[in-house]
Amino acid sequence: MQKARALAAGDRLAVVAPASSFDRQRFDDGILELRRLGFDPVYDETVFSRQRYLAGPAEVRAAALHRAWADPTIAGVIAVRGGYGSAQLLPLLDPDLARRAAKPLIGYSDITTLLNWQVLTAGVVAFHGPMLDRRLSRGSAGYDTGSFMRALGDTAALGELAPDGVDVVRRGDATGMLLGGTLTQLLATLGTPYAFDPPEGFVLLLDEVGERPYRLDRMLTQARQAGMLARASAIVVGELPNCDEPDGGLSGRAVVADLLAGFPGPVLLGFPTGHTVGPAMTLPLGVTCRVVADVRPRLIIEGAAVE
């Protein structure tokens, strides 16, 4: 697995829109936050392209990624927002170019598709972290500054992450390569040439938002029947915001806990990354991660994500 050079103050970050269009004010606020962190965010006018609910045609969005990878002055790539559309880029992307560039790609939600493509196809570490829209645009209320800067800027392993509010569904201790993201996007790749194909013993990260309990049940059932869960040594589930029944009678977290109660390895629920109600933590995908599910549930990122 290739690692990018650690980001430093003054580095140029390419801002791209691989999926849906976005609110301009949130974009501008996110740009200001990147500058406050010491980076130099750069973009061209194609980032503002529009086509229905997308940030322009797939060819335009893919070309923006290619330009960012090919430009030696660009140190990293960060997405504006998710939504929908990243999967359309997969047939258009050059994995050899991404591998040679070895630059961090940062995003979550619909960008899950691209993160796992970068890790599993291009062989480069990627980052399940904040985007401009709704995260960086809100400053410290939207993302965890510490894990973001350490994951991308520190050549030492991120180490132990033990945030409050994480529940243990299944006790245990397991280690593997961290992969995953938003479950909807992982499942959408199945049956395609770009199917999510993790190695045996990996740690599965699952994130979702706005899916009612029966939909979570349906997706986890598909993941189980597709063999995805059987390959995992541990599962780390996000906070699942807005995943309860409207009448409050059934919560998404309760359903997921019940569905994963028989998993043979450790299972954590409520880890604040991706879609969260508070600051979202940044997690590197493609590095070794240990999941400890005991009286003090935690992740230990054992492999450095940058060099």
Q: For the segment 4-30, what is each residue's pLDDT rounded down to a tens digit?
A: 999 999 999 999 999 999 999 999 999
Q: Name the domain count of the chain.
A: 2
CB 38 within 8 Å of CB 183: no
The domain in which residue 51 lies consists of 12-153
Query: Which parts of the chain are beta strand (E)?
Result: 12-16, 40-42, 74-79, 105-107, 126-128, 159-161, 167-170, 172-182, 202-207, 232-237, 267-269, 283-285, 288-293, 298-301
Distance separating alpha carbons of residues 116 and 161, to the nearest angstrom: 22
Tens digits of residue pLDDT in 218-242: 999 999 999 999 999 999 999 999 9
Residue 204 maps to a domain: yes
Torsion of CA 74, 80, 85, 90, to 10 degrees: 20
Residue 297 maps to a domain: yes
> Per-residue confidence at 173, pLDDT binned at 50, 70, 90?
very high
CATH number of the domain to which 198 belongs = 3.50.30.60
Residue 69 maps to a domain: yes
Distance separating alpha carbons of residues 187 and 200, to the nearest angstrom: 18
pTM above 0.75, yes or no: yes
**pLDDT cut 70: percent of the chain above it:** 100
Tens digits of residue pLDDT in 84-131: 999 999 999 999 999 999 999 999 999 999 999 999 999 999 999 999
Residues 95 and 199 both lie in one domain: no
> Per-residue confidence at 2, pLDDT binned at 50, 70, 90?
very high
State yes or no: pLDDT of 248 exceeds 90: no
CATH number of the domain to which 130 belongs = 3.40.50.10740
Residue 3 maps to a domain: no
Please give the DSSP secondary-structure letter assigned to residue 45: G
Chain centroid to Cα 273, Å, comes to 8
Residue 306 maps to a domain: no
Tens digits of residue pLDDT in 43-69: 999 999 999 999 999 999 999 999 999
Distance separating alpha carbons of residues 185 and 192, to the nearest angstrom: 12
State yes or no: pLDDT of 81 exceeds 90: yes
Boundary (domain end) residue, out of 153, 179, 213: 153
241: tokens are: 């915001």
Residues 138 and 178 both lie in one domain: no
